[in-house]
Structure formats: structure tokens, C-alpha cells
Structure 1
Amino acid sequence: MDFKELQYVLAIAKNNSISKAAKELYISQPSLSKYLQNLEKNLDLKLFERMGNNFILTYAGERYIKCAKDILRIKKNLDDEFFDILSHKKGRLNIACSIVRSPYIIPETVPKFKKLYPNVDINFLEETESNNLDKLVINGEADLAIFNYSKSNPMLGCELLKDEEITLVVGRNHPLAKEGKKLEGCKFPWIDIKRFKNDDFIVNYTDQKSGEMEKDIFDRLNINPKVVLKTRSVECSIRLAAHGFGVSFALETHLKYPSLEKSPLCFSIGNPNITTKLFAVYRKSGYLPQYLQDYISIVKQVV
């Protein structure tokens, strides 16, 4: 079977369009149309229904796509293993992470990685909905995902990168700014979050890991927050809190990198604090090339 054929059909299915797929594949639209016509003729099956300019998968097409992804995943595992055997230091690494983490993960890790592996292509899939990151690994679009993994899937393996504390972020002029206490086990001054029950909260959306964790905190501590703003940007919520526009949450890692004109105060909250685990997540069945393992080590150094 021609692996190029599989990639062509996957591109059409992904884009629901011949023209968009052709542009992604850097081939002409007529060539791709002819390729698909010949494939369907040889199979004596329609893989797509044409609805105007949209290409919708038939049942046969859905089965083709599923098997194509499996075949390409097996091929990549074999290629990765051969790469390590031959030690040519050539390959490709696809990494998924949230768009919240990418502004510091990418510049802090890619230059170090490229020094070790200049001939390994590294690509990032930056997701706004971080709850989808595990799916990108499962379906083979990503070799590795970096996120606060809280589920359990027998198809996935993971390596702990860091235990992160979830902090409450407030402006330095907040009335409770000096009320924090030093407690054992807390990296920041501790405060009872219920003292902020009348404050305006800036929160993230619940299809983001950060928003999901915020909702869990409110539920766990029986707090009904007064939400003044929802945003997908953790940095935006930190900046707003620093300027005194409400209070927000932030993982301690997110606080390390933004350059802020006004630095906020951060409090530990909970009993005595609330933490979450940051993982590097990969497929259990996949071959883990040395360059992927080395990339995980680099991430551990910077988070």
C-alpha cells in the first residue's frame, strides 16, 4: 500500500475539502482530485460523499480513515525504532500542549532540543481546549502531550513532570493583601479563600484544564463565585488581577514567565494547599525514540 495515498485521504477527511487538502499537501487540486477518483475506482467504493464543495466521509471512508491512522502509527513506530538503531538523528516529534503553556514551553525547550537533535523536526499542536490533548495522542496526531492529566486511559502512559500548586492571584492593593500566613507545606502565604466570597472572579472556560480545575475548587470549597469575566488566557486573568480588576487563579508554573508591569500577590489556598500534577503523556503501545525521552527531560528542567 502507498503511504502517500493514506496521507492524501486523511488530509481530505480532515479538511472536508479537496482544495484545502491540496493546499496543505502542497499539490495541485486537479492532481488530488484525480488521485481520489482513481483510488475509489480501484476500491470500487466511495470514500466520500460530495455535498457542494464539502467532502463527507461514507461508512467505507470512516473505516478507511481508522485503518489508515493505525497503519501510519505502526509505520512511525518502526521508523522511530530504526532511527535509534541507525543513530542518524533524523525524525519528527509532534507535541501537543495548551495555548496557555506554549508561550513559555516552546521558547524554553525548542532551542535546547535543536542543539541535541538539529535534524529532528519538532512541531507543536497548540490547543485552546486542553481537555482534548489526550485525544490527539490517542489518535496519533501527537507523539507527546504536556498537560495536567487527570484521567486514566489504558492506551496512555505518562511521566510526572511536576507537582504544581494552584494559587489565588490578587492585586497588591487588595484589602486582604497582607492577611496571608506562613504555613508548612505552602510555597506561598496561606489564606482562607472564603474571605474572597464577595470578590469578582476572573475565570477560564471549563473546556480548558485551568477552568476545569477552578470549577473543582469552587465545588470542593462550596463557593458560589461572582464571575466578572471569562477568558481563555491565563496571562490575561493574571494581569487583570494584578491591576485590581477582580481575583483569579494561576498555576505556579504560569507565574514564572509573564513579564508584568505590576506583579500580583499569590496565596496558597485549601487545606493547606491545592496541587495538581503536570504530566508528559504518550501512547503506551508506541515506540519511544530517544529524542522524545530527551525532550521530556528538557521540559522537566524548565517547568
Structure 2
Amino acid sequence: MNLKEQQYICTLADTESMTEAAKKLGISQPALSLFVSNLEKSLGVKLFERVGKRLILTYVGELYTEKARQMLNLKALFDAELPGIIKGYKGRLRIGMQSFRSPHITPILLKKFKNDYPNVEIVLHEGNYRYLESLLLDNQIDLFFCNCPNQNQKIQYISLRREPILLATPPNHPKLSHSQRVTGSKYPWIDLGHFQKEQFILPYEGQSLRASVNQILDDTGIKPAKLFCVRSIGTSLRMTAEGMGISFCNESYTTYFDFNKKPAFFHVGNHIHTTEFVAAYGKGRTLPGYATHLINIIRDIL
């Protein structure tokens, strides 16, 4: 940030002498005199008038130096902060977090991150995948964390966790006796067709889980006869536990709630359906070191 013009005029105003100002600025007196003369010509008004041996500010000169000093003060503040930004221990990070996961991740994340980077400001946005994606593409956030139902060519993704999508049923549903053990998994498998006539409690279209559930329904050929939509996965799981229908959730969601009644959870379909939790940022952009550190903290939390 070059404010040579403002520095020259303010120094001349302070010394009231072309010779003294030139010495302080480290330039010749004729060079400074020519600079001031050219500036006054470009402005169309005098900044100084000579009173004896002194150069005194005109009214316009007083206005000019007032604003020039403000600019120089701002430059000094910027120069003081710049080294910390360059070295990576000062800055700002605008992040987006999936609404449902945020209460379970964000408090732990911010506490750990602030211990390591106390001078990095965090700006948090919460929402679903489509909302966070739109913020990123509009340059309103630097990166976001969300389950990724599909990928955008303008976005770079870092996989943080892949987990199965589970069917949730009432804990005492009569069809549970038809379940089968799955080798290597703590969750059994059950034929989704047993629940064809049940009420399906699903997220709304546009939520990341709904896209994954739609894929499961397509793969299994199931068309729900009764459908009830809610935005909160917690609501759908508690409704399921109360026997009001079946629902779906990511495996990690099974640990997010304290249930008075806990649903039963199962794999469904011809293979284990999974979803991916990702960190996403603009393709071609370089993340600062503290952003990479934040991503690693989330990876550890998961």
C-alpha cells in the first residue's frame, strides 16, 4: 500500500519547511517542491501558502491532511496485522456446517481450534447441502462441511468419513424377526419390502439424506404408500421409536440422541448403502494452513 503522496504532504504540514520536510523524507528539496507543485496543479487548488519562511496549510490543505492522516493511520494498522496474516496465525475463516451435525461438532471444533489459533476469526453459517453449496459458489464462505449427495465440478472435496445409511424401525416391530446377521457389521440386514405399507418418515427433497434415501428406494423398487416429511432427523427417529413409521439415518446419527425408546437399525438393499461426509472448497483455491488444521480437527472428532 503506497501512500507516498499523503506522507509527503503530512510531513510538509508538520515541518512547515520544504527543506526540513525533504530531509525527513530522504529526498531532495527541489524534488519535493516539484511534487507539491504538480499535486496542486492536478487538484486545481493550493494546499500551502507561504507566510514569511513558513509554509502554512490553506483551508483545502487542512482538509487534505486530515483525510491523509486517517489513511496513513489505516495503513499503519494494516501493516501491523499483515505479518501475522502472512505467517498464518491471524486471519478469518468463513465456514459452513450442516445444520443437523453442527450441535454435535461445532462446539468441540471451535474450542479446540481457538486454543491453537486464537487470532483467527471464525464466521459460521449453518444449513443444508444446497444452501451451503450456494454460499460457497457465491464466495460468501471459504469452505463447508456436509454430507455430499452429488458433486459439483466447481468444488473440490476432501472425504472425511464414509458411513452406512441405516433403516430405522420401531423397536418391537413384528417384522424384525426376519432380519439377518451381516458379517463384519453390528447392524443386521432386513428386506425393505416388509415395510412397504408402513408410513415412511423422510427428509424433504433438497436435504442430503433424502437424495441418498431416494437412491435406496430406487434400487429396491420400493414406492412408499404413505409418506410424511420432516426436516429434523431427530424428529423422524423419535417418531419411529414411538411406532409412527419407519425412517432412515446415517450411522453416526444413532449416537447423537438420548432415546427413551430407541429405534432398531438395519442395513437394507442388495448392498450396504453409504454416504460421504466431506470438506468442500472452491476448486483452484488454496486453503491457508489454519483451514487445513480445522479440517483435521473435524476428522478427529468424527
| Inter-partner Cα distance in structure 2 for 1:158 and 1:82 | 30
Residues 1:126 and 2:88 are matched in the alignment: no
Task: State the alpha-carbon separation in 2 of the partners of residues 160 and 182 from structure 1.
Answer: 29
Determine the C-alpha separation between the residues in 1 that align with 2:246 and 2:150.
Answer: 28
Structure 1, 193-202 or 152-161: larger mean CA deviation: 152-161
Tell me what 1:114 maps to: 114
State how 1:36-115 maps to structure 2 within 5 Å.
Answer: 83=84, 85-87=86-88, 89-115=89-115
**What amino acid does structure 1 have at the position aligned with 2:118?**
P
Could you tell me how far 1:248 is from its partner in structure 2? 0.3
Give the residue type in structure 2 aligned to 1:86: K
Cα gap change, 1:168 to 1:83, in 2 (>3 Å): farther
Q: Does 1:217 align with 2:219?
A: no
Shift in Å at residue 222 of structure 1?
1.1
1:230-271 residue CA offsets vs partner (Å, 9 max, x unmatched): 100011101111121111000012222122222211001122
Distance of aligned partners of 1:136 and 1:187 in 2 relative to their CA distance in 1, 3 Å threshold: farther
Q: CA deviation at 1:228?
A: 4.2
Q: Deviations over 1:201-249 (max 9, x none)?
A: 1011011111222222212211111334210001110111112111100
- Cα distance in 1 for partners of 2:149, 2:164 equals 15
- SS of equivalent to 1:261: coil
Conservation of the 8 A alpha-carbon contact between 2:164 and 2:274: yes
Mean Cα deviation higher: 198-207 or 92-101: 92-101
Measure how far apart 1:299 and its partner are: 1.1
Sequence identity percentage: 34
Supply the distance in 1 between the matched residues of 2:285 and 2:222 (Cα, whole angstroms): 43
Task: Tell me by how many angstroms 1:284 deviates.
Answer: 2.3
RMSD of aligned alpha carbons: 2.2
Q: Separation in 1 of the partners of 2:300 and 2:179?
A: 30
Q: Spell out structure 1 runs of 4+ moving beyond 3 A.
A: 80-85, 150-154
Question: Cα gap change, 1:143/1:191 in structure 2, threshold over 3 Å: closer, same or farther?
Answer: same
Contact preservation (8 Å) 2:188, 2:266 = yes
Is residue 203–residue 227 contact of structure 1 (8 Å, CA) maintained in 2? no
- TM-score normalized by structure 2? 0.68
> Do the aligned partners of 1:202 and 1:246 also contact (CA within 8 Å) in 2?
yes
Gap runs ≥5 in structure 2: 2-80
8 A Cα contact 1:99 1:126, kept in partner: yes
Residue aligning to 2:191? 192
Name structure 1 gaps, 5 residues minimum.
Answer: 2-79
- In structure 1, how many angstroms separate the alpha carbons of the residues matched to 2:261 and 2:95? 32
Q: Partner of 2:162: helix, strand, or coil?
A: strand
Q: In structure 2, how many angstroms separate the alpha carbons of the residues matched to 1:159 and 1:283?
A: 11
Report the more deviating stretch, 147-156 or 168-177. 147-156
Aligned length: 223
Matched residue of 1:198: which SS? Answer: coil
Q: 1:108, 1:174 → 2: CA distance? A: 37
TM-score normalised to the size of structure 1?
Answer: 0.68
When Rg is computed on C-alpha atoms for both structures, the one with the higher figure is: 2
Distance 1:102 1:141 in 2: 18
> Match of 2:206?
207
Equivalent residues in 2 for 1:1-303 (5 A)?
A: 83=84, 85-87=86-88, 89-127=89-127, 129-303=128-302
Alignment check: 8 A CA contact 2:163 2:251 kept: yes
Looking at structure 1, the residues matched to 295 and 82 of structure 2 have their Cα atoms a distance apart, in angstroms, of 18
